[in-house]
């Protein structure tokens, strides 16, 4: 994994105001490509090489955790970070079970949080790579688990420091 390149992010979001806000503060650290529907996201994922997808759970043509399930089924090689305007513990768990690498409340994706988001996306990319190298039903390599645990602790510390946790 190359941490020096800008991540190519497929942003699946239908709210143009939210897209403009994300683009304004994430266009330097990330290469964002926005589509407003799941159908267009699946086409883009098939046609363009992305590093990760940032997937809204409420779209004109799909809603809820089924959005993740369908995306994972039709674009299995692309890691997913789920986003929603309302993300409680149960929803986060459902997203992770459905195959998302992370699940974030949209309120955490604001100006000033770009370092946190880039870190989360890079960690999601690593988590996805670790899962795809592991046999189904087996625990991940202890070294990989250690890296992911350290990443999760670093993300939590960033959230606390930024006052968003």
SS3 120: helix
Query: Which tens digits make up the pLDDT trace of 48-93?
Result: 999 889 999 999 999 999 999 999 999 998 999 999 988 888 998 8
Parallel/antiparallel/unpaired status of strands 7-12 and 62-63: unpaired
Query: Which domains, and CATH codes, for the chain?
Result: 7-162 (3.40.50.2300)
Note the pLDDT tens digit of each residue in 111-153: 666 666 777 777 777 777 776 665 444 455 555 556 555 555 6
> Left (φ > 0), alpha (ψ -120 to 50) or beta: where does 99 sit?
left
pTM: 0.73
């Amino acid at each position: 994994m190359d941490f020096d390149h800008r991540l190519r992010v497929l942003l699946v979001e239908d709210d143009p105001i939210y897209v403009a806000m994300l683009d304004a503060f994430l266009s330097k650290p990330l290469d964002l490509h926005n589509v407003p529907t799941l159908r267009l996201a699946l086409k883009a994922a098939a046609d363009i090489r992305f590093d990760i997808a940032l997937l809204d759970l409420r779209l004109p043509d799909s809603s809820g955790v089924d959005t993740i399930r369908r995306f994972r089924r039709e674009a299995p090689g692309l890691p997913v970070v789920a986003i929603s305007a309302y993300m409680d513990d149960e929803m986060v768990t459902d997203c992770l079970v459905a195959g998302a690498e992370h699940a974030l409340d949209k309120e955490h994706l604001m100006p000033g949080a770009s370092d946190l988001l880039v870190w989360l996306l890079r960690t999601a990319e690593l988590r996805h790579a670790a899962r795809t190298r592991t046999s189904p039903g087996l625990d991940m390599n202890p070294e990989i688990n250690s890296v992911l645990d350290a990443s999760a602790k670093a993300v939590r510390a960033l959230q606390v420091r930024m006052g968003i946790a």
